[in-house]
Amino acid sequence: MPSFADATAIVSKGTHQYEGHFHEDWCIGSVPHGGYVTSAIQRVARLHFSTTLSAQNQPDLLSLHLEFVRRTSIGPVSFTVTDIKLGRATSLVQISLTQHAREEVLGFITHTNLASESGVSFATNHTLTPPSPPADLLALTKCVNDGVRSKTDDAQWHCEDQNWAYDAYTQFPEFRKAATKIYWFHPRHGQAHPSIADEWIQFRSGEKWTNDTLGYVCDMFPQLIEQYRTSDNLSPATREYFKGKSFWFPTVLLNIDIKKGLPEGGVEWLFTRVRAKAIKNGRYDLEVIVMDPAGDIVALSHHIVMILSAERNMKARRKPDEKEESKL
């Protein structure tokens, strides 16, 4: 199994052309995970700004907007970068992801130099509502280390933190392979509401969370629909709809707004809160807040997500010369 760094590796094929490879281990069903794809695009942008646009001295992601036009697939992938606007403080590029002669993801990425930012700042006193319980990260780390050393089934791991419990995350692991690459800790007494998911996460590989991994972080969380699916308050019609079925929740649109860069060597733990404001007609929104161990906001992300049968994920793809097919 390739590490995350290896699975998102990018090579230059010219001043504005780049290539990579999407791996099966980082898929949901047959489709590379959207956050994994996002991190690969981040790496394309970073490589472009460190080579072709090195004179700009803007190594850091500031914002990202992606449209997932069609399903991506396992295998080689090509990226084309178009320089849209080069400025002194920020620069904007467009990145097109292509496989099998089809554009599958389109993105606009803005870079800056976070270390040289200056200007007025104010405290907003932002807090999570409802609040998330405090976490003892030493206890969480001990839980992981003790569990790995004991070589026991991780479903039996015990965490000494009174507020957080280890979650082996057994929601369709063979289908959601990309979700099996991290250690998950969730509130011991349950999420505050089915529309909310709080988590502390750490890579299983021992890799650290870096700026390049934030795309994956912003798209890796317990599926909120599954939390509703197990609710006792489902109507008979909804219960029948979910009965015996597995689902795919593809991202149609993803935005990321970077508030604080992570340190050069990365961090072991990150916290995220995911919240949906409206779930209606098979479509819903997600707001993601990523925070570091100090409680500082690292990134904000917003998604548009569809609720589809898992069969839609696995169906055969059309050939390039056949009628146009949307991602969904």
Predicted TM-score of the model (pTM): 0.92
**Residue 146, domain member (yes or no):** yes
Same domain membership, residue 143 and residue 106: no
pLDDT digits 0-9 by tens, 10-66: 999 999 999 999 999 999 999 999 999 999 999 999 999 999 999 999 999 999 999
Would you tell me how many other CB atoms lie within 10 Å of the CB of residue 98? 15
**Residue 145, domain member (yes or no):** yes
**Residue 119, domain member (yes or no):** no
Residues 161-189: what's their mean pLDDT?
Answer: 87
Provide the domain count of the chain: 2
Give the pLDDT band (50/70/90) at residue 219.
very high
326 pLDDT higher than 60: no
CATH number for 214:
3.10.129.10
Q: Secondary structure of the chain in the HEC alphabet?
A: CCCHHHHCCCEECCCCEEEEEECHHHEECCEECHHHHHHHHHHHHHHHHHCCCHHHCCCEEEEEEEEECCCCCCEEEEEEEEEEEECCCCEEEEEEEEECCEEEEEEEEEEECHHHCCCCCCCCCCCCCCCCCCCCHHHHHHHHHHHHHHCCCHHHCCCCCCCEEEECCCCCCCCCHHHHCEEEEEECCCCCCCCEEEEEEEECCCCCECHHHHHHHCCCCCCHHHHHHCCCCCCHHHHHHHCCCCEECCEEEEEEEECCCCCCCCECCEEEEEECCCEECCEEEEEEEEECCCCCEEEEEEEEEECEEHHHHHCCCCCCCCCCCCCC
Owning domain of residue 96: 4-114
pLDDT digits 0-9 by tens, 244-297: 777 888 899 999 999 999 999 999 999 999 999 999 999 999 999 999 999 999
Residues 114-143: what's their mean pLDDT?
Answer: 95
Same domain membership, residue 104 and residue 167: no
Same domain membership, residue 284 and residue 173: yes
**Residue 53, domain member (yes or no):** yes
Rounded to the nearest integer, the mean pLDDT of the chain is: 91
